[in-house]
Structure 1
Amino acid sequence: MKLKNIITLSLMIASMYTFAQDNNGFTRLPNQVQYKIYTPNNGAKIKLNDVITFNFTQKTDKDSVLFSSFTAGRPVTIAVQPSQNITDLMYFFPLLSEKDSALVKIPADSLFADSSMQRPAFFPKGSTLQFVIRIDKVQSMEQAMAAQQRLMDSLKTAEVNTLNKYIADNKLNPTKTASGLMYIITQPSVKSKPVAGDTVLVNYTGRTLEGKVFDSSIESNAKQAGLEQPGRTYEPISLTLGEGQVIKGWEEGLLLLNEGSRSTFLIPSDLAYGPRGAGADIKPFSSLIFDIELVKVKPAKKAQTATPAAKPAATKKPAATKKPAAKKTTTPVKKAPVKK
């Protein structure tokens, strides 16, 4: 952290403590934000670059709840940085310790100082936006990164164990590639295989290891699974291999299939949607199953190479002749331009 930022933050915090409490026990900060710490603790105060996990309720001063992470079950984890605006609370966190609870009141007038912003009726002049905050955990950046890595490692281990159990329970014998992709040919074909740059038509149904169908290009499969895909045209999808249009497991697996063949792909998360997941059905670190039919391969058009023109045969230089005398009546004729 730059020395300038440290000095600025220190002066800001020091100035905060110079404000006396009002009759209701609230302290007012220089930016007119008021706060009250309900459960002060004696632990170390939060510092810049600390990673904090906290829950909060956001409400009006009439106790109308706008959002609550307590109810949603999703605490917030962020790194403390210099404040950018009055609602980010970064100027307030350094007053707290782990396990502290507090009430913060932000003047609504400061939120709508820009006249172009539309002001909701529930924030009249003189009202406040309030945050009820509980600091659940404080970590240094190094501690937070180490904890995140341990969590990812444990989730990846759990994924591998779950996939292996699925294979064992279903008595499967897939072929495994160096990348970790596993596949089973369910309908072989002797037709040609695609190569990068080819366009392929593919029918598919995708499902989780728990059996949840999340996507299908086949109408009967989608209806059987109760999958709602409004406006979906049920037909093979078209994609060009090697252009990153699909997940890595598909890119690799489709190159292994012959036109007209069918296969089941078992795709680990690092060849699919990884630690982020996708949508409500594909959770982070989820291995996926795809039933694939390679309907058609359309080879890429190869650019034609131009054939160089043959060089003209060498001719002897004509012998020098006497230049005829020019006739006065002769009109000079322009030669046609020679294309170079």
Structure 2
Amino acid sequence: MMKKIALITLLSLTAGICANAQDNSVKTPKGAVVKVVTSNPGDKIKPNDVITFDVVQKTEKDSVLFSSYMLGHPLKIQVQPCQNVGDLMDALPLLAAKDSACIKVPTDSVFKDHEEQRPAFLKKGSWLVFNVKIDKIQSLQQAIDEKNAVGEKMKTEETADRDKYIASHNLIVKTTPSGLKYVITQPSLKPKPLAGDTVLVNYIGRTTGDKVFDSSIQAEAQKAGLNQPGRNYEPLPVVVGTGSVIKGWDEGLLLLNEGSKAKLIIPSNLGYGPEGAGDAIAPYSTLVFDVELVKIKPIKHAMAPKPAAKKTTTATKKHTVAKKKS
């Protein structure tokens, strides 16, 4: 509730500021009107800089169209040549770190040559309003170095977290050269799939914190409180070994026999990597899947060529005969 009140207060303040955006304002070559509200010393934003900033995008009537505050984190972009006044790239070089500004953009310029994309609520002659607060300015190399440092830290934390999960669940795991860890929880003597076969898989996907984020089993999904409207709860068909699923699944399913069950502990480099996947899977997350290989639907595979028979030389034959006679 306090966050909502704070956001409403912020919008109210910036609305008042932008109402007078023409006062002491600068017009950019692309037609944006920029009023610097809070000015700080320091270098201005340059092309190719990477900036971290918060922004609230509104109509002239203060209807919020987008807010990084509502998103929960600031945006980070690299400054590029301006393609359209709506990308703000010709306005940003007027600002320094910690500056805040009100930027008004003419919608007629935004939708020039593609009027069919103009929403009905943005009339001709209207303006879009951007309330911008610059948090940080970095060179491209600084941004890359920072990202790499954060990535290395998260990798280290991931390894520690994975080891803790294995220890706390008393698992005795096997590890493949790629780093996939697995435990066969129900063995089977039936055949294994080959690359290109379709396998039907039941699964429960968890984080190392034991939070279920996905399942093909209705009872498990309901128990975890998952909201999956319209989902058919049935074994998932996967054409295995072809890259149609994350690498950890592709590799892990080929290790299983039809009818077997296993726990796959998949590091992020075999899963969703440094980007993660939505809100459920954070960057650099090890994932745990309880899988059952319900059925294999094999394709017709080419038969492996038989090894060529070795030719026996005449000298060898004579030697063999001689040995037998002796």
1:286-329 Cα offsets, whole Å, 9 max, x none, are: 11111111223343314589xxxxxxxxxxxxxxxxxxxxxxxx
The verdict on how the C-alpha distance between 1:82 and 1:261 changes in structure 2, with shifts beyond 3 A counting, is same
Structure 1: distance between partners of 2:105 and 2:45: 20
Contact kept, 8 Å, 2:29 with 2:90, in 1: the verdict is: no
Q: Is the 1:212–1:281 Cα contact (8 Å) retained in structure 2?
A: no
Mean CA deviation greater in 32-41 or 180-189: 32-41
Does structure 2 conserve the Cα–Cα contact (< 8 Å) formed by 1:206 and 1:214? yes
Residue identity in the other structure for 1:214? F
Partner SS state of residue 219, structure 2: helix
Shift of 1:46: 1.4
Q: Residue 83 of structure 1 aligns to which amino acid in structure 2?
A: C
Contact map agreement 1:59 1:131 (CA 8 A) in 2: yes
Report how far residue 270 of structure 1 moved: 1.0
Tell me the residue number matched to 2:274: 275
In structure 2, what is the equivalent of residue 142 of structure 1? Answer: 141
Structure 1: which 5+ residue stretches go unaligned? Answer: 1-21, 306-340
Structure 1 residues 210 and 48 mapped into 2: Cα distance closer, same or farther (>3 Å)?
Answer: same
Counterpart amino acid of 2:35?
Answer: K
Q: TM-score, normalised by structure 2?
A: 0.79
Q: Who is 1:180 aligned against?
A: 179
Q: Output the amino acid matched with 2:87.
A: D
Q: Distance in 2 between matches of 1:296 and 1:124?
A: 58
In the alignment, what sits opposite 2:77? 78
The answer for unaligned runs of 5 or more in structure 2 is 1-20, 305-326
Aligned letter for 1:145?
I
Identity fraction in percent: 56
- Alpha carbons of structure 1 residues 175 and 231: separation in structure 2 relative to 1, 3 Å: same
| Structure of larger gyration radius | 1
Is the aligned partner of 1:25 residue 2:24?
yes
Query: Match of 2:218?
Result: 219
* Residue of structure 2 equivalent to 1:285: 284
Secondary structure of 2:87's aligned partner? coil
Structure 1 segment 1-340 matched on structure 2, within 5 A: 24-114=23-113, 116-117=115-116, 122-302=121-301
User: C-alpha separation between the residues in 2 aligned to 1:23 and 1:169?
Assistant: 62
1:95 deviates by 1.6
Would the aligned equivalents of 2:30 and 2:90 in 1 still touch at CA under 8 Å?
no
Q: Which residue of 2 aligns with 1:314?
A: none
Contact kept? 2:84, 2:110, Cα under 8 Å: no
> Residues 232 and 24 from structure 1, CA distance in 2 versus in 1: closer, same or farther, beyond 3 angstroms?
closer
1:37 aligned partner, one-letter code: V
Q: TM-score normalised to the size of structure 1?
A: 0.76
CA RMSD of aligned residues (A): 2.4
Shift of 1:62: 3.2
The code of the aligned residue for 2:185 comes to T
